[in-house]
């Protein structure tokens, strides 16, 4: 009986491997868990990209929003699902790099329990000021901040947010001191800089673009290591500071043990989708740069992001709560 069970198990394993070794994948719908509410940036991106993915693979793409606790709810949900190539998380990098920095108890190990699958896109941040601020570029802003230490106020999306950590990194990198004002999201911080309640803000392009067009806000720099195609005339802070690169990295996260054929298929599809002119335009409208790279590139980017944010949080005295 035991021998029969042994061969039965081998037969089942072979059947699974063979099923993933042919062209049948995917043979049913693919689910992407989003750790934010409907309307958040990762949600908007996967709904636009997911629609195109569905058209290409001939299967439904299901979006399951599980917001809360900095991505912990979504992370736990994925851990309880099989690593069968049909269950993934689509998120920004915050749930992997920031949540462990600001939450005392995270019920999973980011390195051991999750597997970077596809590096789909990224959304860079920009430093913007109220037009009344007497600074026309990054250099003038730094000089102004140095002349008035602690007097220039800068809004973020909240304590411990990527926006906040970027402000802290900016202060460390340029040797300046600004007054950090936390808000509950860019829905509050951007209107605050427009109204002159704060002097500057760190935000993604979609939150700023309309106000830039009407001259109600001035963009001084990107928090990137290279020029962003979203703002080709804006200087990146990383031009002067090595490895200064702060952005939401957007991609697919799975579990260890996910079949390689599923990983390869998704990487190939996302790579092609990110090259399509129509998709590039759709993403540009929401302030997102297409990437379309695979597992190794995503892992490398996430590791670099996590290390950078960890060092910034330590220097800024930000501890888990």
Please state the rounded mean pLDDT for residues 289-305. 96
**Confidence band of 209 (pLDDT split at 50, 70, 90):** confident
pLDDT at 244 over 80: yes
**pTM as predicted:** 0.86
Q: Cα separation of 192 and 215, whole Å?
A: 15
Could you confirm whether domain 124-239 is CATH 3.40.50.150? no
Instruction: Report the alpha-carbon distance of residue 192 to residue 154 in Å, rounded.
Output: 10
What CA–CA distance (Å, rounded) separates 93 from 84?
A: 23
Structure confidence by residue, pLDDT tens digits, 77-135: 999 999 999 999 999 998 899 998 888 888 899 999 999 999 999 999 999 999 999 99
Q: How many CA atoms lie within 13 A of 271 on its CB side?
A: 12
Chain CA centroid to CA 250, Å: 4
pLDDT tens, residue by residue, 9-38: 444 444 444 444 445 899 999 999 999 888
Q: What are phi and psi of 186, to 5 degrees?
A: -70, -15
Q: What angle do CA 221, 36, 279 make, to 5 degrees?
A: 60
Q: What is the pLDDT of residues 30-50, one digit of tens each?
A: 999 999 888 888 999 999 999
Question: In the chain, which segments carry CATH 3.40.190.150?
Answer: 12-122+249-316
Q: What crossing angle do the helices spanning 205-213 and 186-194 adopt, rounded to 10°?
A: 20
CATH 3.40.190.10 in the chain, residue ranges: 124-239
- The yes/no answer on whether domain 12-122+249-316 falls in CATH 3.40.190.150 is yes
């Amino acid at each position: 009986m035991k021998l029969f069970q042994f061969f039965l198990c081998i037969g089942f394993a072979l059947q699974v491997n063979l099923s993933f070794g042919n062209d049948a994948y995917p043979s049913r719908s693919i689910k992407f868990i989003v750790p934010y509410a409907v309307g958040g940036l990762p949600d908007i991106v996967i709904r636009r990209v997911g629609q195109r993915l569905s058209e290409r693979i001939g299967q439904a793409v299901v979006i399951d929003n599980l917001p809360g606790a900095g991505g912990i709810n979504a992370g736990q949900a994925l851990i309880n699902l099989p690593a069968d190539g049909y269950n993934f998380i689509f998120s920004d990098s915050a749930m992997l790099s920031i949540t462990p920095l600001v939450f005392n108890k995270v019920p999973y190990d980011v390195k051991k329990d999750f597997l970077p699958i596809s590096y789909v896109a990224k959304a860079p941040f920009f430093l913007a000021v109220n037009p009344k601020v007497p600074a026309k570029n990054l250099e003038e802003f730094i000089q102004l901040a140095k002349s008035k230490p602690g007097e220039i106020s800068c809004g973020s999306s909240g304590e411990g947010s990527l926006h906040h950590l970027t402000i802290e990194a900016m202060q460390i990198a340029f040797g300046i001191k600004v007054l950090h004002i936390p808000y509950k999201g860019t829905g509050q911080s951007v209107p605050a800089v427009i109204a002159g309640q704060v002097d500057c803000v760190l935000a993604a392009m979609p939150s700023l673009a309309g106000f830039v067009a009407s001259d109600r806000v001035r963009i001084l720099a990107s928090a990137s290591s290279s020029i962003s195609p979203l703002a080709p005339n804006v200087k990146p802070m990383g031009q002067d500071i090595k490895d200064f690169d702060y952005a939401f990295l957007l991609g697919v996260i799975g579990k260890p043990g996910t079949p390689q054929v599923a990983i390869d298929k998704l990487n190939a599809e996302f790579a092609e989708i990110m090259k399509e002119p129509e998709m590039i335009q759709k993403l540009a409208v929401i302030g997102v740069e297409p990437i379309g790279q695979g597992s190794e590139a995503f892992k490398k980017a996430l590791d670099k992001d996590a290390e950078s944010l960890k060092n910034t949080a330590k220097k800024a005295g930000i501890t888990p709560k």
